[in-house]
Structure 1
Amino acid sequence: MFKIRSYSSAIGGIILFLGILYNPNIRAWAQGVGIEQIQVQTKRRVAVLDFDFASTGVTGLGLSGSVGPAKAISDLLTNRLVQNGTYIVIERSRINQILAEQNLGSSGRIELATAAQVGRLLGADVVVIGTITQFGVQESKSATNYGIFNIVNVTQRQQADVKLTARIVSTSTAEILGVAEGVGTVEHTSGGTMVGQIGSVNVTDARDKILNEAAEQAISQVVEKIAQQESVIAALPILLPDVVAIVADVTLKQVIVNKGAKDGLKPGMILSVERVVREVKDPQTGKVLTRSTQPIGRIQLTKVEANSATGQILAGQGLKIGDLAKPTQ
């Protein structure tokens, strides 16, 4: 009976050993390494900044210099890009917050380098900046008198024209990756007939309506062309945010850090978890001058919220609250 139990224990031990050896999940757990790295297909992030008016070419309503249409065009383009679904589009409120913090809200046209800087602060891969080269309505009226009966036919024609040029800018290099142009034209005709002094002429002011329709046409073309640049944008190196997060919670398989989407963290991103092993402080102020860290593990982000992120442990043991986490390739 003793020998049978001994043999059973030995066989059980061999089976357990082989299970650890050939089962990657068990082997990883035994080594302090999490499950195999997840494959997250993350869409690239796009930010749309306010469009500018060109110095010439704006016709019709005298809107040159006005910020109303510029913001309206940018908002509409943002909404259409969201509906298109090719990219992750950053909320306009977040863009406005960054512009206000950087004192760029009323500084006029944003240069390429500044646009790229704003994009990096937003955690965007590219930013879209653009110009409204035409935005207005041309009007004409005509009257035809049919002579002896004093019949007068009055016709009013209104034509709205909107032209947009958008530039897709890399946030890492400030390079223009592509240009997307859109043109919209909508016509409207109204009028009526009078016989002598009898009758009426129904002339309709449709400027706002046809301007909106023309803008929709132009924006649809711009969105389509930006979506066509997906392969170019996808080939860009992933922009790693310059951020150091602090581990806020640790469980058996997951880590939560105190930075999130507002700091540029994205699902699928890998973070190196490091522990501070030495600090050098200013003897007068007590301020930390430099610190040395030692890598102790890696996590991959699976869920990113505005101010926090949750990661799956890929490697390492003994991770704890207060450790540092830095984005890495």
Structure 2
Amino acid sequence: MYKLKLVSTVFVCGALFLSGCTSTVKSVHRDDNVKVNAMEASSVDFKGAKLRVGVVNFENNAARKVRDIEIVATNILTTMLQESGQFIVVPRQDLDAILDQQDLSASKIIGPNTAIHLGKVLGLNAILTGSITSYAELVESSNTILTQSKTLVAKVGVDYRIVDTTTGVQLFASHGNGEFRKTSGGLLGFGSKSSADTSLKDGALRDALAKAMNKITGQLTSDLWSGRIAQIKGKFIYINAGKQTGLRIGDTLIVQELGEDIIDPQTGVSLGRAPGVVRGKLQINSFFGKNGSVAGVISGGGFRNNDLVKLQN
């Protein structure tokens, strides 16, 4: 009878032990993403002119060449910009089509002439691009007599930059790091997940680019927004931006000519456009179409198609 109770006790304890040691997986981003979550929550109430931006394919300059990591980075940043509610993001296929026509690569995109050309053709206010500078994976293991746990760690380094498509000038450049940890555990002999896990790469990139978004949104403010006079018909002046951009009835626009393209005499490369002469002011009176507005003259004159318009602070 005593042996029967002992066997039963061992069996129950063993069952409880096994149920407590089944394989588990836990994924962890770095704690500083809390700030990013707060930023994303507040972006829902964003008010102001939304910049029209495009994201050009990142480059992979990491010593360890991970397949398609630059494409994943480009897609993640594009999605984050869209979800922020602060930007109008031009579809990637539109950017790629123009780059293919001009026989250009991402590495040449930050040149002033190319940036200005893309801004003109696609109506962009800014271009974002960058490169993967480093990527590494490592394994941290912890074993006991009957159990094991393994933490897979991915670390990534990212450079990113912003170019103003009106002037062709690089507005901002920075570097960021991301980390992603995935812990799995189970009974010895049953093994844990392999390190050939794409979620590691994706998680590290999301961490790095989520933190980058704090800096990007701090640089790409409504003050940088500009639009163009699309057409003038009598007293009606049609603007290539409207409600979708975040303009409001009664907003005042300052109109100025595009300004002269300044060329470096030593290199022959454009340094960007000089500030144009201010022609006058307009007021938004109504909206039309998907994202257009109709303005009336407040002051000034001599307005022309393609003149630059900016919101008055």
Bin for the TM-score computed over the shorter chain: 0.5 to 0.7
Q: 1:255 to 1:160 in 2, by over 3 A?
A: same
Whether the 8 Å CA contact 1:271–1:300 is kept in 2: the answer is no
Give identity over the alignment, percent.
23
Aligned partners of 1:181 and 1:304: how far apart in 2? Answer: 41
SS of the residue corresponding to residue 130 of structure 2 reads strand
| Post-superposition offset of 1:140 | 6.5
Q: Which residue of 2 aligns with 1:201?
A: 190
| Post-superposition offset of 1:170 | 1.4
Residue type at the aligned position of 1:80: M
Q: Which residue of 1 aligns with 2:69?
A: 69
| Post-superposition offset of 1:121 | 2.5
Q: 1:133 to 1:326 in 2, by over 3 A?
A: closer
For residues 11-42 of structure 1, the C-alpha deviation after alignment (integer angstroms, 9 at most, x for no partner) is xxxxxxxxxxxxxxxxxxxxxxxxxxxxx952
Q: TM-score, normalised by structure 1?
A: 0.54
Query: Which of the residues 218, 229, 232 maps onto 2:208?
Result: 218
Q: 1:110 to 1:138 in 2, by over 3 A?
A: farther
| Post-superposition offset of 1:224 | 0.8
Residue type at the aligned position of 1:53: N
Residue type at the aligned position of 1:311: V
Q: Which has the larger radius of gyration?
A: 1
Query: Which of the residues 167, 177, 181 maps onto 1:187?
Result: 181
Q: 1:266 to 1:42 in 2, by over 3 A?
A: closer
Does residue 158 of structure 1 match 2:152? Answer: yes
| Post-superposition offset of 1:301 | 7.3
| Post-superposition offset of 1:77 | 0.9
Does residue 45 of structure 1 match 2:52? Answer: yes
Q: 1:304 to 1:159 in 2, by over 3 A?
A: farther
Gaps of 5+ in 2: 1-46, 257-281, 299-303
Whether the 8 Å CA contact 1:141–1:156 is kept in 2: the answer is yes
Whether the 8 Å CA contact 1:75–1:92 is kept in 2: the answer is no
Q: How does 1:307-326 map to 2 (within 5 A)?
A: 309-314=292-297, 325-326=305-306
Aligned partners of 2:183 and 2:85: how far apart in 1? Answer: 37
Q: TM-score, normalised by structure 2?
A: 0.56
For residues 274-306 of structure 1, the C-alpha deviation after alignment (integer angstroms, 9 at most, x for no partner) is xxxxxxxxxxxxxxxxxxxxxxxx885743656
CA RMSD of aligned residues (A): 4.1
Whether the 8 Å CA contact 2:230–2:305 is kept in 1: the answer is yes
Aligned partners of 2:159 and 2:71: how far apart in 1? Answer: 15
| Post-superposition offset of 1:127 | 1.2
Whether the 8 Å CA contact 1:266–1:304 is kept in 2: the answer is no
Q: How does 1:81-96 map to 2 (within 5 A)?
A: 81-96=81-96
Aligned partners of 2:185 and 2:297: how far apart in 1? Answer: 72
Whether the 8 Å CA contact 2:237–2:296 is kept in 1: the answer is no
Residue type at the aligned position of 2:294: G
> Higher relative contact order at CA 8 Å, sep ≥6: structure 1 or structure 2?
2
Q: 1:136 to 1:305 in 2, by over 3 A?
A: farther
Whether the 8 Å CA contact 1:271–1:325 is kept in 2: the answer is no
Q: 1:120 to 1:181 in 2, by over 3 A?
A: farther
Q: 1:99 to 1:111 in 2, by over 3 A?
A: closer
| Post-superposition offset of 1:141 | 6.7
Residue type at the aligned position of 1:49: V
Gaps of 5+ in 1: 1-39, 145-150, 195-199, 273-297, 316-323
Q: Which residue of 1 aligns with 2:121?
A: 121
| Post-superposition offset of 1:157 | 4.1
SS of the residue corresponding to residue 228 of structure 1 reads helix
